[in-house]
Amino acid sequence: MFIKMRLFVKKVLYYFLNTTLKTDKVILSGFSRGLQNVAFEGKNAVPDRCNFSGKISIGYGTTLGYNNILGGNITIGKYCQIGADVAMHATNHPVHYLTTYINTNLFKGELNKFKEKNEIIIGHDVWIGHNVIIVGNVNIGNGAILAAGSVVTKDVPAYNIVAGVPAKSINKRFSDSIIKEIEDLAWWNLSDQELEKIKPLFFKDYQNKKSIYE
């Protein structure tokens, strides 16, 4: 009983005082729901009013934004940055049955078994802008940028910048040769000590370049 009361008091404090809780893997600010559905890899940050349901994995160093909603089977890679009010929906209502209504108010929720269940997979070093919505069976490649306000319903190739409703590719971040070099380097899998050795690569501007080693 004491433990339950203690947890309740903590939740109240997080909600009203926006206090911060640090664990060995994640920093929690404010109050979020469904954290038991998330596997954190480490050095993650979850701000106030995030909501998680389903089976979710969040990679090392990835940070979320205020009021993120993640539902369904979702895998997010390492070192991703997610803006505020981002929603990811890997599930959907059935569209080829008599009704889309799967709530318990109809047939005690028996129609819930027809819910469409997909998977959202997000690579490493992905930047997702404010108010982006990702729906359906979607794979986001490494290094992609999803512009603010985009609605993503299809796969996004690695290092592509997409925008719009529905989101479409508007540019590539780098030349094909540089993209291959970054993928081969896979810097997101390196230790802190290994990253220090290649630190100068992160401070170069690769616009109009053919190699990260120039």
Number of neighbouring beta carbons within 10 Å of residue 184: 7
Q: Does residue 151 contact residue 137 with C-beta atoms inside 8 Å? A: no
Rounded to whole angstroms, the Cα distance separating 191 from 172 reads 28
- Which of 89, 93, 96, 124 is labelled catalytic? 93
Q: Is 124 a catalytic residue?
A: no
CA distances from 189 to 77, 79, 192 (A): 10, 10, 10
DSSP 63: B
CA distances from 149 to 82, 160, 163, 187 (A): 13, 16, 8, 29
CA distances from 173 to 12, 122, 152, 160 (A): 44, 17, 18, 6
Residues with catalytic roles:
93
